[in-house]
Structure 1
C-alpha cells in the first residue's frame, strides 16, 4: 500500500471520528428533574426546562449546562458536636451570647443567573443567611430568642433573606426558612437560664393565682352589693307603701274628725289609752262628780255606774 493510500485511509478515519463526535455533541437529553441552559460561544441562550431529547449546534459552537430542579438545603450553624468550638455564635440585642441553627430550603429558578451572576451562588446564599440571622438576633432580646419569640424571629429572617436574594439576582429562590434551635453556648449558662425561666414561670403562676383570687373576691363583693341594693329597694318600696297607707288612714280620720269632732276626739283618746295601757281599768268622772264612767279598755266596751256602784266595784276589785 502506497503512502498516498495510507494518508487517504487516515484522512477517512479522522473524518469519520469527527463526524461521530459532531453527531454525538449535537443532541442531548434533559431529565424530568433537570433544567438546562444552552451556551453559544459561552453566552447563554434561553433556558430549557422541558424534559426529553433536544438538539443543538455541535461543540465548541454550543454546549449545555444542566442543573437540578430539586430543592436544596443549607444548614447554617448546624453542628452535631455538643461542645464544638466551631459552633456559630451571635450576640443578642441585650449583649448576650447564644447559638442558633437555621435551615434554608432553596431552588435554582433562573439557570442563566445561577451560572453567570455570581462565581459562587451558594456562598452568596450562605453569607446572606448569616447576615439575616445575625441582624434579627442582634435586634432581639435573649428571652425572646429562647422562648416565645422564635416564630417571629424565623419570619423576620425569612423576609430579610428573601429580600437580599432577590436583590442579588443570582438565580436562586428561597422556598422556606426553619429556625431549628436557639440555645445558650454551654451547659452552665443553660442551667442558670433554666433556673431563671423556672422562677419567671413560677412568678407568673403566682400572679395568675392572685388575679384569680382577686376576680373571685370581686365577684363575691359585687354579688353582695347587688343583694344589699335589692334589699334596700325592697325596704324602700315597703316604707313607701306603709307611708301611703298611713296617709290614707290619716285622710280618712280627718274626714271623720271634720264631720264629728267630739266623738272622733274621744275615740282617738280611747284608742290611744288602749294601745298604751292595754290591761288597765280607767275611771272617768264628769265635772260635777256625780256620775262615774268606768272604761274597761281591755274589753273594748264602756259601762256607766252610779257612785255607789263604782265604789262597790272598786272594793270587789281590791
Structure 2
C-alpha cells in the first residue's frame, strides 16, 4: 500500500512537472522592441520579429532566444559610467597619423543586431569582435590621414571612412551586426608639450596663410588697377585715332574744296590764300586792300569790314588834279 501510494505520488508529481514544462515552454511573447530566433532540435530557424504571443513545441524540442532590436553603443577608448563620470583608456586610443604624428582618438559606434541567428551562433563573443574591428578600422583610417585633418576639418571624412571600413569588416565576419553610425568623440594630442608645439605650428601656418591672402589681395587689386588703366589708355587712343581720322578727312575735304575753287578762279583763290596765310602767321596785323586811280587811293580794311571805305589823297597832287 505504501509503495503503491509512493509510486502514485511520484507519478503524479512527474505528470505535474511535465504538464508544467509543457505549459511554460510552448508559448512565448515578443515585444515591439524585441526579435526572436527559433531553435528546433539544435537547428536555427528564421528569426521572428512580429510582436505578440507565439506558440512552439515544448522544450527541449524547440527553444527561443529573444534579443533586442534597439541600437547599441560601443564606446571605444573611454567608458561612461552611470553617474556621468568618464574613464579614459589612453593605451587603446593612442595611434600614429599618416604624417607620423601621435594622436589620441576615441569614438562611439552605433550598431544593431540584424540577424539574431548569426549573432548567437556564428561567433562566441560578437561584441569583442566588433571592438577589435573598430580599433583596426580607426587605426587604419587615422594612419592614412594627416594630423591637421584629424584635429580640425577632416573629422567628418574620417568618420565616413571608418564607418565604410567597419561595415565591410562586419560583412566579412558575418556575425549578424549592422553598423548604424560612427562618431568621433575626441581627437587630441598626447601631452601638453606636444599640444603647445602643435599650437605654435598652427599659429605660424595661420600667419603664413594670412600673409599670402593679403599678398594675393594686393596683387589682384594692382592687377585690376593696371587693367583699368590699360582700358582707359586704349579708349583714349581709340578716341584720338577717331578724332585725327575725322580731322584728316575734314582737311582733305577742305583742300579739295579750295582746289576746286582754284581751278575755277586761280587769281582770286591765290590772293585769298595769301591773305589767310598772313592772318594765320600774323594774327595781330591789319590788312588793307588799296587801289590807286591816280588821284586818290581807296582801301578796304579787312579787319573791320563794317566801316565805310575812305579815300586817301596822294601827296603831291594839287586841287586841279595835276
Instruction: State TM-score, norm by structure 1.
Output: 0.86
Matched, 1:239 2:249: no
1:154/1:49 CA distance change after superposition, 3 Å: same
- What 5-or-longer segments of structure 1 have no aligned partner? 310-318
Aligned to 1:77: 77
Shift of 1:208: 1.9
Aligned to 2:279: 274
Q: How does 1:183-202 map to 2 (within 5 A)?
A: 183-202=188-207
Q: How does 1:47-86 map to 2 (within 5 A)?
A: 47-78=47-78, 80=86, 85-86=90-91
1:307/1:277 CA distance change after superposition, 3 Å: farther
Aligned to 2:120: 115
1:117/1:284 CA distance change after superposition, 3 Å: same
Superimposed CA distance per residue, residues 197-234 of structure 1 (whole angstroms, 9 cap, x where no aligned partner)? 12222222222222222222222222222222222222
Superimposed CA distance per residue, residues 140-169 of structure 1 (whole angstroms, 9 cap, x where no aligned partner)? 111221122111111111111111111211
Q: How does 1:188-227 map to 2 (within 5 A)?
A: 188-227=193-232
1:2 and 1:95 map into 2 onto residues whose CA distance is 87
Instruction: State TM-score, norm by structure 2.
Output: 0.85
Aligned to 1:163: 168
Confirm or deny: 8 A CA contact 1:125 1:165 kept in the other structure.
Answer: yes
Q: How does 1:125-204 map to 2 (within 5 A)?
A: 125-204=130-209
1:281 and 1:65 map into 2 onto residues whose CA distance is 131
Aligned to 1:28: 28
Matched, 1:8 2:15: no
Shift of 1:237: 1.9
1:121 and 1:219 map into 2 onto residues whose CA distance is 65
- What 5-or-longer segments of structure 2 have no aligned partner? 80-85, 317-322
Shift of 1:90: 0.7
Superimposed CA distance per residue, residues 260-307 of structure 1 (whole angstroms, 9 cap, x where no aligned partner)? 112211211111112212333579999xxxx99978564469988676
Q: Greater shift after overlay, 276-285 or 205-214?
A: 276-285
**SS of residue matched to 1:29:** strand
2:109 and 2:231 map into 1 onto residues whose CA distance is 61
Q: How many residues align?
A: 306
1:29 and 1:281 map into 2 onto residues whose CA distance is 132
2:36 and 2:288 map into 1 onto residues whose CA distance is 136
1:4/1:214 CA distance change after superposition, 3 Å: same
1:14/1:294 CA distance change after superposition, 3 Å: same
1:14 and 1:281 map into 2 onto residues whose CA distance is 157
Confirm or deny: 8 A CA contact 2:36 2:66 kept in the other structure.
Answer: yes
2:7 and 2:289 map into 1 onto residues whose CA distance is 178
